[in-house]
């Protein structure tokens, strides 16, 4: 199997950054009107020369701050680069110290308790604070999935991808409905890195992996305890397959079946659906946008947890299409985009060494 090139690595981290920074502008809105979104995006592009004169043609600079999604993704990358492999103690320390340095990045309500416990010198097991969340049930939020992409940029073996996606998520998300979402997102990035995988094969492979992942005792008992059917992620992937066979799927159906919320189960499948759906053009999205742009636009148009759904779909689409589809004007609007490019380069070097 040919190894993916550096353009996929750049695309993945840039797509994730774009999704977070652009999505954050609309986060939490129950309805996002497409004309307003498109008009906002137009504002990121250099103004046409005849109207603007000199200043308008220049890039407008990093104006869109990243949120917790990127802050935590950066800690994952920095830990992997520093240790050259997954190291739970180092990664936990970076999450907690990053939170202490910049607590106002928009973290989930409950996860900050994990960081506070991790910062205490009394903490000897870095997985313990996460296990104590929600009266011992653990978090099922999408925070493990939103930051996981770079695991798949370091580990090429699919068993390693699953193992380290799970462990990285378990530092904050001990409920299987949280960490299984991270495994699914990491698998999606892993498959997106493969050369020329069709939409059908991509989805079939995700389903067969997740049916295995979700069949263990803890996954079954966590799903039952929350009142879900067995294999809830696999079920939603099958719903995505049904959706993709239809000529059009209304937004209301996507929101009802897949969701736009902060639970991993109500957001990771949505990100995967958005990526797969946006391989085709969309009658509502102008044709001059490429597939990666369309993916991010579509995610944001769903409303709700826009930054997190767009960052996950952006990472997958960026890994699939590569940096060629990352529009410079969008990228340059995002905080720390140059550092993101350097991180992608370093991850690629690590991947080649391993």
Which stretches of the chain bind ligand 8NA, using CB under 6 A?
Answer: 27-28, 67-69, 106, 108-111, 134, 137, 139-143, 146, 175, 262, 305, 307-308
What sections of the chain are H helices per DSSP?
6-24, 34-42, 49-57, 68-83, 88-101, 111-119, 128-132, 143-146, 151-154, 158-170, 176-193, 199-213, 217-225, 232-245, 251-257, 268-277, 291-301, 306-321, 328-331, 337-353
List residues binding Mg ion (CB under 5 A): 67-69, 106, 305, 307-308, 336
Residue 137 binds which entry of ligand 8NA, Mg ion, none, CB below 5-8 Å type-dependent = ligand 8NA
Least Cβ distance, residue 267 to ligand 8NA (angstroms):
8
Contact 113, 128 (CB under 8 A): no
Contact 50, 92 (CB under 8 A): no
Residue 336 binds which entry of Mg ion, ligand 8NA, none, CB below 5-8 Å type-dependent = Mg ion
Residue 28 binds which entry of ligand 8NA, Mg ion, none, CB below 5-8 Å type-dependent = ligand 8NA
Least Cβ distance, residue 307 to Mg ion (angstroms):
4
CB closer to ligand 8NA, 142 vs 270 = 142
CB closer to ligand 8NA, 181 vs 322 = 181
Residue 274 binds which entry of ligand 8NA, Mg ion, none, CB below 5-8 Å type-dependent = none
Least Cβ distance, residue 290 to ligand 8NA (angstroms):
25
Residues 320 and 201: their CA atoms lie apart, in Å, by 14
Residues 230 and 275: their CA atoms lie apart, in Å, by 25
Least Cβ distance, residue 27 to Mg ion (angstroms):
5
Residue 251 binds which entry of Mg ion, ligand 8NA, none, CB below 5-8 Å type-dependent = none
Least Cβ distance, residue 325 to ligand 8NA (angstroms):
24
Contact 193, 315 (CB under 8 A): no
Least Cβ distance, residue 69 to Mg ion (angstroms):
4
* Nearest CA among 207, 209, 313, 223 for reference residue 260: 313
């Amino acid at each position: 199997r040919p190894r993916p090139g550096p353009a996929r690595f750049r695309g993945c981290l840039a797509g994730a950054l774009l999704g977070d920074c652009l999505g954050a502008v609309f986060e939490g809105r129950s309805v996002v009107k497409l004309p307003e979104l498109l008009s906002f995006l137009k504002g990121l592009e250099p103004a046409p020369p005849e109207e603007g004169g000199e200043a308008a043609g220049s890039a407008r600079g990093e104006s869109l701050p990243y949120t917790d999604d990127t802050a935590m993704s950066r800690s994952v990358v920095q830990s992997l680069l520093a240790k050259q492999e997954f190291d739970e103690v180092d990664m936990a320390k970076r999450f907690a110290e990053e939170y202490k340095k910049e607590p106002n990045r928009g973290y989930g309500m409950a996860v900050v308790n994990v960081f506070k416990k991790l910062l205490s010198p009394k903490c000897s097991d870095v997985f313990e604070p996460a296990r104590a969340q929600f009266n011992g049930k653990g978090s099922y939020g999408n925070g493990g999935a939103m930051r996981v992409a770079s695991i798949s940029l370091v580990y090429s073996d699919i068993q390693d991808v699953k193992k380290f996606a799970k462990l990285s998520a378990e530092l904050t998300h001990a409920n299987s409905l949280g960490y299984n979402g991270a495994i699914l997102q990491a698998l999606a990035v892993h498959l997106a890195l493969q050369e020329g995988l069709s939409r059908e094969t991509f989805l079939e492979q995700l389903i067969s992996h997740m049916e295995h992942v979700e069949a263990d005792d803890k996954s079954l008992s966590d799903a039952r305890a929350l009142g879900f059917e067995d294999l809830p992620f696999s079920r939603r992937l099958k719903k995505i397959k049904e959706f993709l066979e239809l000529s059009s799927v209304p937004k209301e159906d996507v929101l009802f079946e897949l969701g736009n919320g902060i639970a991993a189960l109500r957001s990771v499948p949505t990100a995967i659906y958005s990526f797969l759906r946006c391989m085709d053009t969309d009658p509502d999205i102008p044709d001059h946008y490429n597939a990666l742009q369309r993916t991010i636009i579509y995610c944001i148009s769903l409303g709700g947890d826009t930054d997190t759904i767009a960052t996950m779909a952006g990472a997958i689409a960026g890994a699939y299409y590569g940096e060629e589809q990352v529009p410079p004007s969008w990228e340059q609007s995002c905080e720390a985009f140059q550092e993101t490019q350097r991180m992608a380069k370093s991850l690629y070097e690590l991947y080649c060494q391993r």
